[in-house]
Structure 1
Amino acid sequence: MLKLFEYNWRIREAWFDWCREVPHEELTIDRVGGVGSILYTLFHIVEVEYSWLRVIRCGEDIVVKYADHQSLDQIQALSNRFHQEIKQGLHSLTNRDLDNEVSVSWDNSVQTVDDILHHMVAHEIHHSGQLSIWSRELGRQPVVARFLD
């Protein structure tokens, strides 16, 4: 499972690099078929990953606001800041932990750690696909999202 997280992190960094070549105005326009703009989508990817890990590790989510992270540099810094905690949290999990059930406050559900981890990976891949569509709408090549080199 860790390889899939590493893949997502590598692709996310490539999207940050891709964004550096796009005017800020294009990054902030609300787009059809997603959660909002390109920048908000990157923020959403980072925030959701961190929220799920917090729920797994300690059962408590910390709300991070987009209003406080509206530039590419701020979102990338947030991603980098959370990265170490997420990586350590993933490395600390054992096979026995995967069957643990976790209460999810934002939708009053109970999920297994294993299901949450799979959801976390799929969530980022889903949004990376949206970013790819939007990049083509801008007439640009999307990030190459290959798991195998």
Structure 2
Amino acid sequence: MIAMRKILFLTAAIVISLAGKAFSDVAEKDHEHKTSHGGVVQEAEGMHAELLIDKSGQPKVYLYDEAMKPLEHSDMRAKLTVKSHDGAQHERDLNFSKDPKEGPLLKGEPIKGLTDWDTAVVSLKLKDSWTHLRFSHHTGAGR
């Protein structure tokens, strides 16, 4: 009887965990956004941020409203912390720029030697507090 309960409990646990994974995958796919610049998008505080680190290692963050229309935040403070696949960590201040081709964005100094990255955190000072957006990069994404 005890063995039967264990099997039943184990089966229920597996079904629940698989169902949760299936629903989270659907939710992630429903919330994907087409990116204008080929970067990785995250959402926070009613806006979206697209992170791109170009081939020269220059970090760029594009800000959008909920409808994915570009936002200008010339007075915003922003910082980037990025970890490469080899575990090295790099930090950059991001400054507002209005590029004639790319539109409004936050740019940082290039990170020399960075050809690929694993995780990044963009910290934005919104109003009186900091908001942190975590990005994950899989090889080949955002390029």
Q: TM-score scaled to structure 1, two decimals?
A: 0.26
Q: Which has the higher strand share?
A: 2
With normalisation by structure 2, the TM-score equals 0.27
Q: Which structure has the larger Rg over C-alpha atoms?
A: 2
User: Using CA pairs below 8 Å that are at least 6 residues apart, which structure has the higher relative contact order?
Assistant: 1
